[in-house]
Structures are given as structure tokens and as C-alpha cells.
Amino acid sequence: MPLAELIKIRREKVIKLRQMNINPYPYRYEVSHGIGEVLDQFTSLAEKQTALRLAGRIMLKRKMGKSFFAHFRDASQMMQIYLKLDVVGQEAFDLFNLLDLGDIIGCEGTLFITKTGERTLRVHKFELLAKSLHPLPDKHAGLTDVETRYRRRYADLIINPEVREVFIRRSRIIQIIREYLNSHDFLEVETPILQPLYGGGMARPFTTHHEKLDMNMYLRIADELYLKRLIVGGYDKVWEYCKDFRNEGLDRLHNPEFSMIELYWAYADYKDIARLFEDLLRHTVFTLYGKYKIPYGEYEIDFEPPFQWVTMIGSIAGQTGIDFTDMSYEEARAAAKKLGVEGTELINRGKVIEAVWENKVEKTLIQPTFVADFPVEISPLAKKHREDDRLTERFELFIAAQETGNAFSELNDPVDQLERFLQQGKAIEAGDKEAQPLDDDFVTALSYGMPPTGGLGFGIDRLIMLLTNQHTIRDVILYPQMKDYKEGTVPVSKILRQLLEEEKNKSS
């Protein structure tokens, strides 16, 4: 049956209800218990014959002569209700007959167990709390079409409890991290999303324009430079849960709008940050699951510290037998070529080493592994390594072959920072759309003096994928970015407008 027909049938029920002087959209319902709570305490509530007031959405409904069985669901759980004519009376019975799957009702009653053993609410009274006009997806096959699931997340959430569970866990994970950082004296701050200049990451930004100020602005790609200014200002530990925006491709690991946590810790270096990050992840996993080993796809990931620590160049040597430590750019390029890694974008020694590493090592890092000491050319905001100035004190944490965090001993020498920006400027001129522009005010801030500082950024969406065993970023973001589509759907509003038109014509 076409959607318009199904909606019309329900619309007619609404009209009928109004004629019966029943408001299909009343204002409130006094709920005494959640359904999950009722199921948890079923035995004692049933014994006492406590009168309960529960509310939820009708998911299943079947008529049995002079009685009904139905299942309804609230945020916590689903349970069966039983309603019979000689308990509720003819009027209420007929009203229940008008209800559809998807309607939201409030029920008052007591508990019992059916012959077949199902815990059930015997309904004494009920009220319609909201009429549903749109039919629900199939009660067994559910809603599987991914496009509809993402475009109409509400339908996905109504019909797929496991999807609801992922987002409950997402919320818990963020809460656990927030509590951890706050209890470790990190100050939660807010910095601009709308920025006159972007920086703090390698990415193409979204650009916009402020009319009154007549200036171009960018949606932030990272909040790093603003947080470091706060370290200059004298806060020792700061962090932010931030939405960042990057104008790049979309795939199972990338959404243009995504979430990160960045934190900065004065007087610490990248090794202190590694210990902190390790402990934060350990704590989060354990709080969530009560254990350290959790499944991710075909793997079992072990979050019990200490995590493995390798250097970028060392891990390349481990995989390929080739040591890039003392190679010049030309030697590195030749060595990379022998390994099958080449390309015009490999314009300096650092990019060559990074490319070889990505090609040969990244895929192999399943268990949590810190990869440390990145080349200076690809790390414009990190402090040079204390033992080798061709490298920086920087690590990324890899889990299940995915980057799960990025940290440095922060560069706090304003002169060195200026030189790095100038280096990046050359890259921009050479056509690198992801190189970082010179931020004069940031150099100015550093010139006031920033203490030695360790900093960390990690993508929340990818971390949540890892901790909830989801394999596409769209399954951990409630409203992932979708392309507009122009054809192929009949919006409900169009159907309703037609119905209203018909009703008007009929009554006049």
C-alpha cells in the first residue's frame, strides 16, 4: 500500500479521535517507572500489585477477540501489555483498537506473568500520548537500508536497539574521559570554532564570511594553537572537547565534521603524555567493560599498559631491514623506490620516511603501539628531538592499524616556530593545500614565553568506533554528512498537504 494511503488511514483516525473529544497530542503523562526498572524489580512489584504508570511506543500489537496483547518500548526496554474488554470497558477497548504501531501511549496497571511465562502489564487505564502517522519499518526485518538509516536516524533508533546502544556508549565514553581529565586537574575550556586563520593540523578548511566585519573566516580544523595560547597565559593543564571541520573526502574513516579532544600539560614532555594517554585509555576501557581485552572485528585488542613503544625509523627497519637514520634526502628516495614507494609529493626527507612507514608498517600495528620520533618536516608544531634535530619529539598511537592519537613535546621556541611556518609557507606556494599558514599572533604568543609543554589530540569518533566495535564512522555519528538528493522521495509534508486540501474541499 502506498505511503499516502497508509498516512491517510492514520489521519482519519486522528479526525475520529478528535470527534470523540480525545486529544491525540496531549501535554504530559505522570510516569511512575521506566520499563527497564519494572523488569528489573518485576517480582517484588508484581507481588505488591503496585499500580504502575508506564509510557512508551507501541511496537507490536495483536487482537485476541475481546482482548489485546501489545509490546511497547521506552528508552530503556520493551515489555508486553495485556488489555481486556471487561477490565477497561467498551469505550477504552474500542479506542485501543484504533491505535497503530508507532503510537505512543501511557498505561496504568499491575503486573502478572502469562501462561507462556512472559512478564506483562495488565492495563487498567491507558491514554494516547502521541499519534504516529508514519508506518514503522517491518517488525522483524527491521530497517537495514543504510541510506535511510543515516538520513532518518530517528527511524533507525526506533527500530534498531543496538544502534541506540552504540550512542549510549558514546555518551558514556565521553563522560568517563571528561571525569578523568577533570579529576586530574585539567581545566575544560572553550575556544573559537569560527577562526580568522586556521591551523594546528594538516587539512583543507571550510571557509565562510562574516558580513558585518567583512572578513573571511574559517571553521577550525583543530584547536591546538588556541589551547597553547592558554598555556602561555598561565594555565598549566587545559583541554577541550572540540568539533573540528575538514574540507576533504568522506569515507568510512572521515566525516567533514568530527570530534576531537586536545589537551596540553605544562612542564611535561611527550613521554609524560604517553603515560597519561595510556592510563586514560586503560581507565576508559576498564570502566566501560570491567576488563582490558575487547574485540574489534577479527582482532582482540588488549588495552592493558604499558603499550608498545617503537620509533618511526626503527619500525621501518624492523619491517624492511632498511635503516633511514642517516640517509640524505636523495639516499632516502632511492631506498624508498627500491621498496616500491615513490611519488612527486615526496619533496623532502621527512615525507619519504613517512610514506615508507605508511606503506610498510602502519597495517601491521594491531595492538596499541606508540610510534615515536617523526621527521621534523612533517611536524611543524613539534619540538625537535633532544638527540636528533632531524626528528621531533612526537608520537602517534596506533590501534587496529588506525591512528588513535597524536602528541608532541610542544614547540615553544618562537624563532624555531617562525622558521617552521616559513617552511610551511613554501609548501603552500608549491601547491600543498594542507600545509599550515603563518599565524603571526601565535608566534607573538610564544614570544612571551611558553613553558615546556606536552600536548595530545585524539579523534573521539575513531576511538568510539574502536571501543564499540563499529567499522564505519557513520555508525558512531548520529547525523553523518549526506549528500542532498533532489529526486526519488515523496516527502511526508507533501502527502499531508494534499490530505488537508482534500479535507478542506470536503467540508466546504
Partner RNA sequence: GGGGGUGUAGCUCAGUGGUAGAGCACCUGCCUUUUAAGCAGGGUGUCGAUGGUUCGAUCCCAUCCACCCUCACCA
Q: How far is the CB of 234 from RNA (least distance, A)?
A: 30
Q: What does the radius of gyration of the chain's CA atoms come to, in whole angstroms?
A: 29
Q: How far is the CB of 271 from RNA (least distance, A)?
A: 23
| Size of residue set near RNA by CB under 7 A | 77
Query: Residue 54 contacts by C-beta under 8 Å, 6 or more apart in sequence?
Result: 31, 32, 33, 34, 35, 38, 72, 74, 79, 106, 107, 121
Which of residues 223 and 268 has its CB atom nearest to RNA in the complex? 223
Touching RNA, residues 483-502 (CB under 7 A): 483-488
Q: Minimal distance in Å, beta carbon 379 to RNA?
A: 11
Beta-carbon neighbour count of residue 453 at 10 Å?
25
Q: Closest separation between CB of residue 11 and RNA, Å?
A: 12
User: What is the strand order of the sheet 207-210 is part of?
Assistant: 194-195, 215-219, 207-210
Choice from 29, 41, 50, 69 touching RNA (CB under 7 A) = 69
Q: How many residues does the chain have?
A: 508
DSSP 337: H
Q: How far apart are CA 370 and CA 272, in angstroms?
A: 13
Applying CB under 7 A, the span of 3-11, 174-182, 206-214, 368-376 interacting with RNA comes to: 3-11
CA dist 76 and 35 (Å) reads 6
Least distance between RNA and beta carbon 142 (Å): 6
Q: Which residues pair with 453 in a beta bridge?
A: 266
In angstroms, rounded to a whole number, what is the distance separating the alpha carbons of residues 377 and 387?
16
Residues in 335-374 at the binding interface with RNA, rule: CB under 7 A: 343, 345, 355, 358
Site string for RNA, 307-336 (x = CB under 7 A): ------------------------------
- In sequence order, the 6+-apart residues with CB closer than 8 A to the CB of 398 are 362, 365, 368, 369, 370, 371, 404
d(CA 103, CA 131): 5
Q: Minimum CB separation from RNA for residue 291, in Å?
A: 28
Candidates 41, 50, 67, 191; binder of RNA (CB under 7 A) is: 67
Calpha distance 210→217 (Å, rounded): 7
Can you name the residues that pair with 238 across neighbouring β-strands? 187, 264
Closest to RNA by CB, 249 or 295: 249
What Å distances lie between residue 55 and 32, 34, 121, 156, 198, CA to CA?
9, 8, 12, 20, 48
- Would you say 293 or 494 has its CB closer to RNA? 494
Q: How far is the CB of 252 from RNA (least distance, A)?
A: 5
Residue 403 interacts with RNA (CB under 7 A): yes or no: yes
HEC string of 269-336? CHHHHHHHHHHHHHHHHHHHHCCCEEEECCEEEECCCCCEEEEHHHHHHHHHCCCCCCCCHHHHHHHH
CA distances from 508 to 342, 499, 501 (A): 77, 14, 11
Which residues, 445 to 484, sit near RNA by CB under 7 A? 459, 461-462, 472-474, 482-484
* CB-nearer residue toward RNA: 449 or 488: 488
Identified binder of RNA from the candidate list 253, 322, 347, 478, rule CB under 7 A: 253
The footprint of RNA on residues 149-178 (CB under 7 A) is 150
Q: Which of residues 125-154 bind RNA (CB under 7 A)?
A: 135-148, 150
Residue 451: CB minimum distance to RNA, A: 27
DSSP bridge partners of 477: none
> Which one-letter DSSP state was computed for residue 254?
B
Task: Give the integer Cα–Cα distance in Å for 495 and 439.
Answer: 53
* Least distance CB 3 / RNA (angstroms): 4
Q: Output the smallest distance, CB 84 to RNA, in A.
A: 4
Return the SS3 of 359: helix
Give the footprint of RNA on residues 78-107 (CB under 7 A).
80, 82, 84-86, 100-101
Which CB atom, from 260 or from 281, has the smaller least distance to RNA? 260
Considering only residues 418 through 437, tell me which ones interact with RNA, judged by CB under 7 A: 434
Q: Which is nearer to RNA, 40 or 432 (CB)?
A: 432
CB of 68 to RNA, least distance (A): 9
By rule CB under 7 A, what string of x and - marks binding of each residue 103-122 to RNA? Answer: ---------x-xxxxx-x--
- 344 or 508: CB nearest RNA: 344
| Interacting residues with RNA between 196 and 215 (CB under 7 A) | 201-203
Q: Which stretch binds RNA (CB under 7 A): 25-33, 251-259, 292-300, 319-327?
A: 251-259
Distances from the Cα of 441 to the Cα of 124, 197, 201, 448, 458, angstroms: 69, 10, 17, 11, 25
CA distance from start to end of the chain: 29
In the shown chain, the binding pattern of residues 258 to 287 toward RNA, with x for contact by CB under 7 A and - for none, equals: x-----------------------------
Phi and psi of 117, rounded to 5°?
Answer: 90, 10
The grid cell for 41 is 524489580
Please report, as residue ranges, which positions from 219 to 248 form the binding site for RNA (by CB under 7 A): 246, 248
Q: Based on CB atoms, which residue is closest to RNA, 53 or 84?
A: 84
Q: Quick one: which segment of 63-71, 273-281, 304-312, 384-392 binds RNA (CB under 7 A)?
A: 63-71
